[in-house]
């Protein structure tokens, strides 16, 4: 029986019999999926100190306690309605927002929700073995917090499918649990969500760059004319912030530790840090390059009629639409660098067709600001090396640069030059083997940290760093 106790919610679940029945049917399948595809080896006997969303109240929306993960109370929350909200962009600018799905936009809206929903369980699947190589209980807990929240994000999208899309929506909700990351027959829908995440450097980079794509997509959906979609994604953004924190602070702590190890080695700041088990900066840069490029692919093609239609119909807007002056974007243009033979030339594109690129602008600035914060650590440690975000043209699989080759500065390269140099810029089998070797043994002792990462400045929910964030049931 579904109750507020089982499924915390602010959508009057107990007063909506149809929705209740649909969720009662779906929930056991979800739990089966979690057992099978969720964190491996931590399902039965481990109690994890997790936060659970219990309301949308700004100063008390979460509750912290120990919980066995399969018993986590996945809930359904919408941000509070904005009174008299009107459509913020596109052809229907200024009209009242929609509380039901207009028939003519049913298919594209369902597609947007399914695409977003599919990424959520995918990342849980990608990360399912990481607990076996964790650098500390603190990090293990953060991984699981991200995992259960991605599970909740799936619930959020399934709630929309069940509530607004009838039979098709229920079918889509089932299929979310049938596809799986990296599966040959039924893979996840987007490429970055089929990439394996086998070590913690990949995990932190994923949380920094791919969860940040989650943030930009959610921000653009939060602008949607479909009010329930807007309110659902607005609340998801509050959780997404923690995922970005996990990624950014994880890499920051690696950088900190790398500098400490170089100093301790006696070889100084130019020493070979791998000799003493640290993670060197070139390897960190290669992982940054990979995950940034995979994540900007998720924003879609630079020139896109789909993006234009989404914008025109008010389905998906720009991040922070209110900061733009022209909400119809009917006459403006956007300059896109395109390849013409072997030269880059600038082409002027109608702005609506370049909306993916506008979102990518927002994303890139947000990512660059994070990398700048990493660089301040290097600076404080007296290093002259700096990390940087590669050009958006680098290593693309989707869009107008796919199939072409560019260096991290965005300069065109021949296929031969790319093949000769790509190992300098992207993670190598040697990097992966090295990371596997330093992470071979998980650290499960309270308050201890693996050699390759510094402890955090402070713990979670004002608990000390040496708190028992994950404990084994007696």
Residues interacting with Fe ion, by CB under 5 A? 120, 150, 153, 211, 214, 240, 243
**Tokens standing for 365?**
């600035």
- Gap between the Cα atoms of 43 and 131, Å rounded: 11
Query: At its nearest, how many Å lie between Fe ion and the CB of residue 50?
Result: 15
Name which of 297 and 302 has its Cβ closer to Fe ion: 297
Name which of 243 and 393 has its Cβ closer to Fe ion: 243
Query: At its nearest, how many Å lie between Fe ion and the CB of residue 141?
Result: 16
Name which of 202 and 407 has its Cβ closer to Fe ion: 202
- Gap between the Cα atoms of 212 and 205, Å rounded: 10
Query: At its nearest, how many Å lie between Fe ion and the CB of residue 145?
Result: 10
- Gap between the Cα atoms of 417 and 317, Å rounded: 39
Query: At its nearest, how many Å lie between Fe ion and the CB of residue 280?
Result: 28
Query: At its nearest, how many Å lie between Fe ion and the CB of residue 120?
Result: 5
What is the chain's Cα-based Rg? 23
> Measured at the alpha carbon of residue 240, what is the angle toward residues 238 and 158, in degrees to the nearest 5?
90
Torsion over CA of 402, 405, 411 and 412, rounded to 10 degrees? -100
For residues 114-132, one letter each, b for 16 or more C-beta atoms within 10 angstroms of the residue's C-beta and e for the rest, the string is: bebbbbbbbbbbbbbebbe
- Gap between the Cα atoms of 374 and 369, Å rounded: 9
* Contact (Cβ atoms closer than 8 angstroms) between residue 252 and residue 260: no
Name which of 245 and 444 has its Cβ closer to Fe ion: 245
Query: At its nearest, how many Å lie between Fe ion and the CB of residue 143?
Result: 12
Nearest to 34 by CA among 81, 70, 76: 70
Name which of 195 and 240 has its Cβ closer to Fe ion: 240
* Contact (Cβ atoms closer than 8 angstroms) between residue 52 and residue 72: yes
Phi-psi region of 319 (alpha: psi -120 to 50; beta: other; left: phi over 0): beta
Query: At its nearest, how many Å lie between Fe ion and the CB of residue 127?
Result: 11
Name which of 206 and 401 has its Cβ closer to Fe ion: 206
- Gap between the Cα atoms of 75 and 54, Å rounded: 7
Name which of 139 and 431 has its Cβ closer to Fe ion: 139
Distance of CA 366 to the CA centre of its chain: 13
């Amino acid at each position: 029986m579904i109750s507020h106790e089982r499924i915390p919610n602010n959508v009057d679940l107990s007063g909506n019999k149809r929705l209740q029945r649909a969720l009662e049917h779906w929930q056991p399948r979800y739990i089966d999926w979690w057992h099978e595809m969720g964190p491996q080896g931590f399902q039965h006997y481990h109690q994890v100190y997790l936060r659970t969303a219990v309301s949308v109240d700004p100063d008390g929306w979460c509750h912290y306690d120990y919980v066995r993960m399969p018993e986590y109370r996945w809930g359904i929350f919408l941000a509070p309605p904005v009174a008299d909200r009107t459509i913020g962009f596109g052809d229907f600018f200024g009209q009242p927002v929609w509380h039901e799905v207009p028939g003519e936009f049913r298919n594209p809206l369902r597609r947007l929700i399914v695409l977003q929903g599919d990424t959520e369980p995918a990342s849980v699947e990608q990360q399912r073995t990481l607990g076996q190589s964790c650098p500390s209980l603190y990090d293990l807990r953060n991984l699981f917090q991200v995992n259960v929240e991605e599970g909740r994000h799936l619930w959020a999208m399934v709630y929309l499918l069940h509530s607004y899309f009838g039979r098709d929506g229920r079918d889509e909700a089932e299929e979310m649990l049938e596809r799986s990351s990296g599966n040959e027959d039924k893979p996840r829908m987007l490429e970055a969500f089929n990439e394996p995440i086998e070590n913690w450097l990949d995990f932190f980079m994923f949380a920094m760059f791919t969860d940040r794509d989650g943030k930009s997509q959610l921000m653009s959906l939060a602008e949607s004319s479909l009010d329930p979609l807007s309110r659902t994604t607005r609340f998801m953004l509050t959780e997404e912030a923690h995922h970005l924190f996990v990624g950014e602070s994880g890499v920051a702590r690696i950088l900190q530790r790398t500098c400490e190890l170089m100093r301790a080695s006696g070889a100084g700041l130019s020493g070979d840090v791998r000799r003493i088990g640290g993670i060197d900066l070139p390897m960190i840069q290669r992982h940054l390059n990979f995950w940034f490029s995979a994540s900007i692919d998720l924003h879609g093609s630079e020139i896109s009629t789909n993006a234009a239609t989404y914008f025109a119909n008010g389905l998906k807007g720009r991040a922070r639409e209110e900061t733009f002056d022209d909400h119809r974007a009917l006459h403006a243009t956007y300059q896109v660098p395109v390849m013409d033979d072997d030269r880059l030339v600038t082409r002027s594109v109608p702005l609506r067709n370049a909306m993916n690129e506008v979102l990518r602008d927002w994303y890139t600035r947000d990512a660059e600001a994070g990398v700048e914060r990493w660089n301040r650590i290097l600076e404080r440690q007296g290093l002259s090396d700096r990390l940087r975000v590669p050009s958006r043209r680098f290593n693309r699989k989707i869009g107008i640069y796919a199939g072409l080759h560019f260096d991290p500065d965005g300069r065109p390269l021949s296929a031969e030059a790319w093949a000769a140099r790509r190992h300098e810029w992207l993670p190598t089998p040697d990097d992966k083997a090295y990371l596997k070797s330093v992470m071979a043994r998980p650290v499960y002792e309270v308050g201890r940290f693996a050699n390759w990462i510094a402890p955090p400045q402070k713990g979670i929910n004002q608990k000390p760093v040496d708190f028992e964030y994950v404990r084994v049931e007696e």
